[in-house]
Homo-oligomer: A and B are copies of this chain.
């Protein structure tokens, strides 16, 4: 069991995620931001993630395609704002199936004696957008993918 916390307060338009990873910060940062690693943990367990683009710099764009076992493809994209390796990156996030609904995500990593404390804040354009993301079952997917990230980070140390 991880210590994953997903904080969704009523009436707000953000989702705060906290989790500790049993791996050093620089390794977690690499697992989160390098295409060959990211493709292995991002998304649901039963889907395959293809990293179409990942330009890790302010103004760089990213696009990932999730391929389901039934052949369905869902694409996600965004733009990087700030990148301060291995501490923090800020990016926008948009599901191509719902264009115009953009969230902004801040991902922060703190070193804690060989372990890493991760905090993400995702802010949505409205409470409705935020609640829609929660209803889509994001917590299940997040739990799976962050567990897979920890396992991968363990293999990189």
What is the chain B residue whose CB lies nearest that of A88? Answer: B100
Q: Give the contacts of A99-120 with B (CB-CB under 8 A).
A: 99-100, 102-104, 106
Interface size on A, residues (CB 8 A): 30
- The A interface, classified by DSSP as helix, strand, loop or mixed, is strand
Check: A2 CB closer than 8 A to any chain B CB: no
Contact A102 B82, CB 8 Å, known A11-B11, A59-B61: yes
Q: Give the contacts of A55-105 with B (CB-CB under 8 A).
A: 55, 58-61, 78-82, 88, 90, 92, 94, 99-100, 102-104
Q: Are A94 and B82 closer than 8 Å at their CB atoms?
A: yes
Check: A150 CB closer than 8 A to any chain B CB: no
Which B residues lie within 8 Å of A11 (CB)? 11-12
A14 CB to nearest chain B CB (Å) = 6
A11 and B81 alpha carbons, distance in the complex (Å): 26
Q: Which of B58, B92, B106 contacts A125 (CB 8 A)?
A: B106
